[in-house]
Amino acid sequence: MDQARRPLLAAAIGFAATRFVSAAAAQGTLQGGTAEARLSARLARLAEDGLDPAWYGIPDPALAIADPASHRAALLRAAGLALADLLGGRLREAPGRPDIRRDPSLDIGRWQAELAAAAEPAAVLDRAALLPPDAAALKAELARAMRLAERGWATIPGEGTLDPGSTDPVRVPALRARLVAEDPQLAAAPDRGAFYDPALEAAVRRWQQAQGLEVDGRVGRLSLRELNQPPTRRVDQLRVALDMRRAALPEGAGRRIEVNIPDYRLSVLEDGQELLGMAVIVGRRDRQTPMLRVRMTAIQFNPPWGVPERNAREDLLPQLRRNPQEVAERGFRIFQTVAGERVEIDPRTVDWSQYHARRFPFFVRQDAGDANALGRIKFIMPNGDDIFMHDTPDRHLFRRPDRAFSSGCIRLSQPAALMALLLEGTPRWDAERAQAVIDSRQTEAVALRRPLPVLLRYRTVTVEAGGRVRIRPDIYDLDTGYARAMAAPPRQVLARLEAGR
């Protein structure tokens, strides 16, 4: 379907269904004040589904006495609008988010007809609310987060690191108060005032573990930033998680690669089973890894690296100013266009102090080798953002639980394992031959016999076996943007359609 027409069609379907249930209400399909009261109460509780009751024009119960027919019509109209969002998602279109796809086969009209004819329309909303995968677990966690948000929690002033064993009459009590809000074990422990005692350290470690941060008991920049997030942010993340799962189009049973960016994890999946999983490093906040749906087509061994212009200007130039010899020893080669031809220059002969980020007329390439930023293996998946997966010499970074360090590409903790899996069934290629090519230090590539779908997605909220909900930091603020879009007024197209009734 033409993408430009989908929002209009979605609005038209929702409007037509609303007209249907309103007409049914006018005919008295909704029988009895008791069912009406239960429906009104259910609509008032839409917050438990991550929706705002104020979005749907729920009529004042007083109208039921003054004008029962108008009340019934308005009530079912509100229910029809809410049902459409519960089924299809409040945010039907998400520009720039190919990882979010709605199922076009969802028959909202059938559900609207059922709502209009139901003796208990509130029960129809209940069933719709539980349709998304993991909805029950997410709703339970949302209820808990909303209770926390109602109570609120303390913030921790200052910027320096708080270390176990330290004393601070202001910041340590604030840290304790912040964690007590959601840690009953700490709440039951003796309060040592200004002293950062072992009980508080244990609570910090539990919190860091739950957040996917480095578990060291030290409250540094990253921990402080997340501790000081308002509790409403967690509520919004759960609201977004529910909405993203509504009418989500299944990814299919075939073999594919998925990378969950805020979870820093890659999975190779087939028939619902994980064949391979590993830690990854993704783009940092100012160089974000984009969400993509692409296909992995080839593997390159001993890849050279054509350094992107931004990396050269912002990262390499400061190193050239400090020590051009060291840059050359790491295999970087500098080129400049002279008389229309690209020629190599010796970095030691250039006065790098006269160049800056806005003036850098050079091209940079790093030769294949042990120091190459791409490591020994590059996984090619053609796309307009020039994003790929690769090995890395910086293995120590995988020990960090927070791993947003790259310039956008994805660094793999187990590139050899992924290589072996991808080469299965490729004629004349196996892990042994690939390793021989790597050891030869010669650049060579092999096309995959079966190109593999790759999905780069963004889910800060995941549900593990047993219904345990894990929430990771919203590292790119995409959940924040999604929640803001959910709260936006209805599209003008709907208003125009309604005005033309």
Catalytic residues: 390, 409
- How far is the C-alpha of 255 from the C-alpha of 263, rounded, in Å? 21
The residue among 122, 19, 26 whose CA lies nearest residue 70 is 26
- How far is the C-alpha of 48 from the C-alpha of 208, rounded, in Å? 27
Classified as helix, coil or strand, 130 is coil
Classified as helix, coil or strand, 83 is helix
- How far is the C-alpha of 370 from the C-alpha of 364, rounded, in Å? 18
**Helices of type H across 171-280:** 171-180, 184-187, 198-211, 221-227, 231-245
Long-range pairs for 85-89: beta carbons < 8 A, 24 or more residues apart: 85/51, 85/55, 85/246, 86/49, 86/51, 86/125, 86/128, 86/129, 86/131, 86/246, 87/111, 87/128, 87/131, 87/246, 87/247, 88/10, 88/246, 88/247, 89/243, 89/244, 89/246, 89/247
CB neighbour list of residue 313: distance below 8 Å, 6 or more residues apart: 357, 358, 360
